[in-house]
């Protein structure tokens, strides 16, 4: 199978983010200013300016290496079996057919998911598709389904299916119908297991006859917001990434209190290797957002989100914009700041959906709230 991913660098002399970090490492990594996106570490150990797309590719590989240092490595994907979808149920919905499925992530591990297929798709034409990633809700995938009484303003899987998209909404490990024993996992973090599962979801979508494999995106709120960004960073087949809430630089996350990131579901190395210290972490969200370039990124960060502080996002925005400007794709970057708390209100969703439509060249079957 063709690999779509940039391998983590392991070249001597790279910044500490360019090497894998293990529990037995005797020396903690030194502090790095991850907001300095327009510099990369050259093989001679010096900082060099990012002036060209080639320079940025080096910086981006260092970002991916830093993410893997905290999350664990992305497993090799060269000999994976097909997703092997099993249909467990079928629902006729308003404008869509929904299949309750499981798909094969890897040996002996199947991911429960909802697969939405829009009705009245023009004969012979393939549709764009989206991964719809849920927030931190016990019902998991059903938390993005209007027909399953999703929390208010969270039913984006249903809404996008009604808009004419094929939508895949998987459970994140340990949510919904997906019990998962992290103590027996081969992964260093729940985060990397989630990334791998979501990459396999993209494999599934690309294999569907209904889907245009070149028009795939991802959307999520909160937990789903940063998981959308993580998927986009590791899988460049994803052409548009929408994150509602879900991120702010680590120094701005509860004032630098990173305990919430360290459960087995997420990244325990932040505690075990990096001592909950934002200055010691091998990556930050400045870099995750920038790693999405030149692909399209839409970020909705509410003014009154008490979880992911908007001040950090506003600090990151001009830094990320520099990267998009270098690559000539500033028109594919959009930041909005709704006047609300930790939410994805209708006006923000409406703007996000239109952004997705533009990037994936899709004429929607209906507007949000429309017939």
Does the pLDDT value for residue 330 go beyond 70? yes
Does the pLDDT value for residue 95 go beyond 60? yes
Q: What is the pLDDT of residue 124?
A: 80
- 132: β partners: 219
Separation between Cα atoms, residue 170 and residue 164, nearest integer Å: 19
Q: Kindly report, residue by residue over 96-115, the tens digit of the pLDDT.
A: 999 999 999 999 999 999 99
Residues 6+ apart with CB under 8 A from 315: 35, 249, 252
Separation between Cα atoms, residue 323 and residue 296, nearest integer Å: 12
For the segment 190-207, the average pLDDT, to the nearest whole number, is 98
Q: Give the closest residue to 297 by CA, choosing from 229, 211, 248, 223.
A: 229
Separation between Cα atoms, residue 325 and residue 333, nearest integer Å: 10
Separation between Cα atoms, residue 20 and residue 25, nearest integer Å: 10
- 186: β partners: none
Please say whether the dihedral angle defined by the alpha carbons of residues 205, 231, 193 and 81, taken in this order, is positive or negative.
Answer: positive
Please say whether the dihedral angle defined by the alpha carbons of residues 280, 281, 282 and 285, taken in this order, is positive or negative.
Answer: negative
User: How, if at all, do strands 127-133 and 211-221 pair?
Assistant: parallel
Residue with tokens 């899709």: 362
Q: What is the pLDDT of residue 366?
A: 87
In three-state form (DSSP H/G/I as H, E/B as E, the rest C), the secondary structure along 11-26 is: CCCCCHHHCCCCCCCC
Transcribe 42-69 into DSSP letters.
Answer: -TTS-EEE--SHHHHHHHHHHHHHHHHH
Q: What is the pLDDT of residue 365?
A: 86
Q: What is the pLDDT of residue 31?
A: 61
Please say whether the dihedral angle defined by the alpha carbons of residues 366, 289, 169 and 104, taken in this order, is positive or negative.
Answer: positive
Least confident of 28-42, 47-61, 199-213, 317-331: 28-42
For the segment 217-224, the average pLDDT, to the nearest whole number, is 98
Q: Kindly report, residue by residue over 154-177, the tens digit of the pLDDT.
A: 999 999 999 999 999 999 999 999
**SS3 assignment, position 37:** coil
For the segment 109-126, the average pLDDT, to the nearest whole number, is 92
Tokens of 18: 């360019």
Q: Kindly report, residue by residue over 3-38, the tens digit of the pLDDT.
A: 333 333 333 233 333 333 334 433 344 467 999 999
**SS3 assignment, position 106:** strand
293 CB-contact burial (10 Å; exposed 0-12 / middle 13-18 / buried 19+): buried
The per-residue pLDDT of the chain, averaged, comes to 92
Contact 184, 190 (CB under 8 A): no
Tally of CB atoms within 10 A around 47? 10
Separation between Cα atoms, residue 178 and residue 169, nearest integer Å: 13
367 pLDDT band, cuts 50/70/90, is: confident
Phi, psi dihedral angles at 134 (to 5 degrees)? -85, 165
Phi, psi dihedral angles at 184 (to 5 degrees)? -105, 10
Better-scored residue on pLDDT, 371 or 95: 95
Phi, psi dihedral angles at 86 (to 5 degrees)? -115, 125
């Amino acid at each position: 199978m063709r690999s779509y991913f940039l391998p983590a660098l392991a070249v001597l002399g790279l910044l500490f983010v360019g090497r894998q970090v293990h529990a037995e490492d005797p020396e903690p990594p030194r502090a790095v200013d991850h907001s300095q996106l327009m510099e990369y570490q050259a093989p001679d150990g010096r900082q060099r300016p990012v002036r060209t797309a080639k320079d940025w590719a080096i910086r981006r590989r260092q970002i991916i290496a830093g993410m893997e240092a905290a999350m664990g490595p992305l497993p090799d994907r060269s000999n994976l079996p097909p997703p092997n979808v099993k249909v467990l149920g079928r629902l006729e919905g308003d404008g869509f057919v929904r299949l309750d499925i499981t798909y094969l992530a890897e040996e002996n591990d199947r991911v429960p998911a909802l697969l939405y297929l829009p009705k009245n798709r023009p004969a012979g034409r393939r549709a764009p598709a989206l991964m719809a990633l849920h927030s931190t809700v016990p019902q998991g995938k059903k938390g993005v389904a209007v027909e399953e009484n999703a929390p208010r303003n969270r039913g984006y899987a249903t809404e996008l299916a009604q808009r004419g998209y094929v939508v895949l909404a998987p459970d994140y490990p340990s949510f919904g119908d997906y019990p998962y024993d992290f103590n027996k996992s081969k992964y260093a973090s729940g985060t990397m297991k989630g990334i791998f599962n979501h990459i396999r979801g993209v494999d599934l979508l690309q294999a569907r006859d209904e889907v245009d494999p070149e028009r795939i995106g991802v959307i999520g709120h909160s937990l789903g917001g940063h998981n959308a960004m993580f998927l986009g960073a590791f899988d460049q087949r994803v052409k548009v990434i929408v994150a509602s809430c879900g991120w702010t630089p680590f120094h701005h996350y509860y004032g630098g209190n990173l305990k919430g990131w360290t459960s087995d579901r997420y990244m325990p190395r932040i505690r075990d290797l990096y001592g909950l210290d934002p200055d010691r972490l091998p990556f930050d969200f400045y870099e995750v957002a920038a790693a999405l370039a030149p692909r399209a990124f839409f970020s909705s960060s509410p003014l009154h989100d008490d979880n992911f502080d908007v001040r950090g996002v506003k600090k990151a925005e001009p830094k990320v914009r520099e990267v998009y400007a270098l690559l000539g794709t500033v028109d594919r970057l959009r930041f909005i700041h709704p006047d609300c708390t930790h939410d994805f209100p209708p006006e923000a969703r409406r703007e996000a959906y239109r952004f997705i439509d533009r990037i994936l060249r899709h004429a929607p079957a209906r507007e949000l709230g429309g017939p």
